[in-house]
Structure 1
């Protein structure tokens, strides 16, 4: 949904194919989506969903088309059959056929296709990675970029969980270097914490320095404690823009700079700081 909001903010047209029938209009608007200008559909079968996606691509009217989700793409034969009479491989065959068409349509129109998928456990796997994604191997093959997003730990205030810290890893990338990672926070009810991610990245890049509990940008004092700095940034778009521009300038000179200090639980790094009660001092 954040991707849809960002494309719309830049003036693009988006479509959202809700195969799970779980689209929340209020939550979407809270994340910044202009629901009134969003093309939206709730197809009943996998065949219908892929045909709709192909038609949208061929129209060349959309910059981004999201399908939510691959796991919910139920073939018509399975939907019309009796519960329990599932034929093995039907969804994989459906995707293989559909993606052959979609690859050409998307390439000609320049439309970005965004597939949301879920992890499943392979049955009977004793050795190696037991995890796999729904829909067979066709989506893995045709995708230009694949990102694995997993929860690292809960973000808490007191005994209450208010969000998750997640790790996103690029497991395939045809258009840039793969295997890059990012760590960021997602809060329940309001999505990805842009300001928190910006502050952590700025600190890793040296744009912002932390001395004890105080944060500085150059000689300017931003505030004491991460929470108070984030509150100040949310209330001051101009200051946020200055930090964002400095981060972008630094990354333009060295695109890999922000990845140098991404840690996996080192208490000295920002990735380990998730208890909000501990950040005020």
Structure 2
């Protein structure tokens, strides 16, 4: 009988040696350490994995696009480029720079494709061209956002086809039940190959998605997303957002957003983070990472609560949380670094800590 080493040597001559394990070595920053930690158990690696397809889904006005824009801006800061497919026809090139995105052509690619297939093809062709011609560094990331999967129309549902050729645009009257399930078939057909392209070309593909309610679910979470079953398997991460209103008097000034990883093939699933998404006068939404991180640290008792509601202790003084947030934000990165310096080296998310405590309690009872 041959030894393992002899078998490996013989097989190497026939099919080559074993391939290396495929892992994620690069992440795009979200700008919010608790979300980064929920993604990959690290405060500073970033949140969005390069080389993978991910989903960000949530209700309207919950900051999905703002979160994806943070990823695009992060890719640019790392020497890469960003692309945005505006299927919902709602992206503002005028307002995006206020969220940190460089919309200069060449640094940013903006397209309004008509179909699902055209959208994926543009992404792959552009990324191939960039990599082949060495237009950016080899390890520089590409971030591509699709807004949204729910709004992507399959070619078979948009065009009238005869003998495999496009003969015109399909009228609304000609749509049928087959068109209603076309997107599910399109994702099932395209996503296996597209996932491979993302890995080969160093693309972080972020698919924004809309929520639907599954009326057949009587117990548990009735929410679901569009695109059929294929996305559940091919998205490496599925970040689902829920939101509640932030009010000042009777005015709704923002949303308190909680992001939970319903699926995570990078780290533990079901971890979550919460942050404030505040509406601005110019029509944009602000991901208030300063105020959000202050409240996160307050929850861990790393920033002490003040005696009055809504206040905290900082440098021996009592500040309203809004005032402290604005003061640190005025200091820019230096101010944010003062907050991140308080993050604990060892951190167990509450859900993990609770499970560990239950296991310890059960073990003690058994003993």
TM-score grouping bracket, smaller chain normalisation:
0.7 to 0.9
| Cα distance, 1:54 vs structure 2 | 2.4
Aligned to 2:94: 26
The separation in 2 between residues aligned to 1:243 and 1:231, in whole angstroms, is 13
| Cα distance, 1:147 vs structure 2 | 0.6
| Cα distance, 1:134 vs structure 2 | 0.9
Cα shift readout 1:214-272 (whole Å, capped 9, x = no counterpart): 5234xx2354211111121122233332222332xx2xx224357789xxxxxxxxxxx
Aligned to 1:95: 187
**Contact kept in structure 2, 1:222 and 1:229, CA below 8 Å:** no
Matched, 1:105 2:197: yes
The separation in 1 between residues aligned to 2:187 and 2:143, in whole angstroms, is 19
**Contact kept in structure 1, 2:276 and 2:292, CA below 8 Å:** yes
Q: Which has the higher contact order (CA 8 A, sep 6+)?
A: 2
The separation in 2 between residues aligned to 1:127 and 1:39, in whole angstroms, is 43
- CA radius of gyration, larger in: 2
Cα shift readout 1:61-110 (whole Å, capped 9, x = no counterpart): 65211111101110123223221523242111111111111111111122
1:215/1:126 CA distance change after superposition, 3 Å: closer
**Contact kept in structure 1, 2:306 and 2:318, CA below 8 Å:** no
What RMSD in Å do the two structures reach over aligned CA positions?
2.4
TM-score for both structures, normalised by structure 2: 0.64
Q: Secondary structure at the match of 1:93?
A: helix
Matched, 1:215 2:317: no
Aligned to 1:157: 248
Q: How many residues align?
A: 254
Q: Secondary structure at the match of 2:71?
A: helix
Aligned to 1:43: 113
**Contact kept in structure 2, 1:45 and 1:76, CA below 8 Å:** yes
Q: Secondary structure at the match of 2:90?
A: coil
Aligned to 1:135: 227
TM-score for both structures, normalised by structure 1: 0.82
